[in-house]
Amino acid sequence: MIRHIVFFSVRRKEDVEAVRSGLQELGKIPHSKHFEVTLNTKVDLFSNAIDVVVYAEFEDEGALAAYRAHPIYAETTGRVKPLRELRYSADVVAAA
């Protein structure tokens, strides 16, 4: 299983909800086993730069690739990208 975790910060704080709701559209893509978009609670002692977190689980690399190739992914990216400042992504293989 692949865990896909993406962290976003927005350029303007008034755009946080637009980014969050825009990213929720990715949940309509059928290739994930689990998908969620949450707001950062901002309780980190060192940095609270991250505003929105996407967490998804995929059966394998093929399912993740199909997710990224889906038309909703490109459409959502085009809508959210102008509103974000930072984007950090990690894909990790879950321990058995």
Bridge partners, residue 8, by sequence = 52, 87
pLDDT digits (tens, 9 = 90+) for 4-27: 999 999 999 999 999 999 999 999
| pLDDT for the residue 55 | 98
Helix (H, G, I), strand (E, B) or coil at 32: coil
Q: What is the mean pLDDT of residues 77-82?
A: 96
Q: What is the pTM of this model?
A: 0.92
